[in-house]
Amino acid sequence: MDIAGIAQALAASGLRMHAVEEPGNRMPVWAARLASHCRHNEGRRDFVINRSDPGFLEAANSAWFRLANDEGLFDRKGEFLLAVNRAEWDDELSDMVWVRVGLMDEWDIFRSHSDSYPDIFGYEGYPEFVMLSTDGNLVLQATNWDNGSMGLVLLSRPHRSATIREYAQRRKSNPSIPESRRIDGINWLRSAT
């Protein structure tokens, strides 16, 4: 699938793709995906939705929008960042990158609208995605728990999380990770403090 195919898959869920973010001093996707591993005293908050509840998908969409709107996921233009696997359009690069998106008038991110690219949001009823506010101050992650429920995890001020900071330090000295990816977390932490 090429970039146009990614944009089309996003549009099927009601998201307009604006740009692929270039690597730089932004929080790396791998760091944002650690939100569900952070402790509550690090700014993590959990919201659980039970799959057995009637109207589960509608409840999930409603909860996601309420949290995104109330907690600051959307910027002034209504945009935010969504993690997408770059391998879907570039066989040479298999890392996750941020894509800047905005909501269309009609959207539904918890139902499967694109069989060709389910990895953006996971599978219907079993979402797995991570989002970041454009200012980098809020991570919103959807995940699945072992008890059969779905969780929305919020992490405010992720650069202050000890879990993420410690992992970034360990990652920096891991020779199995390419050098350019070893220091991305440290560069982000330096720029965020």
Whole-angstrom CA distances from 79 to 115, 126, 169 are: 25, 24, 30
Flag residues of the chain having pLDDT under 70: 1, 87-94, 112-119, 123-125, 193
The pTM of this model reads 0.90
Among positive and negative, which fits the CA dihedral 136, 43, 145, 189?
A: positive
Reduced to 3 states, what is the DSSP secondary structure of residue 42? Answer: helix
Cβ atoms of 121 and 109 closer than 8 Å: yes
Cβ atoms of 169 and 156 closer than 8 Å: no
Q: How far is CA 48 from the centre of its chain?
A: 17
Number of folded domains in the chain?
1
Per-residue pLDDT reduced to its tens digit, 29-85: 999 999 999 999 999 999 998 888 888 889 999 999 999 999 999 999 999 999 988
Phi, psi of 169 (to 5 degrees): -65, -45
Range of the domain at 98: 3-192
pLDDT number for residue 46: 92
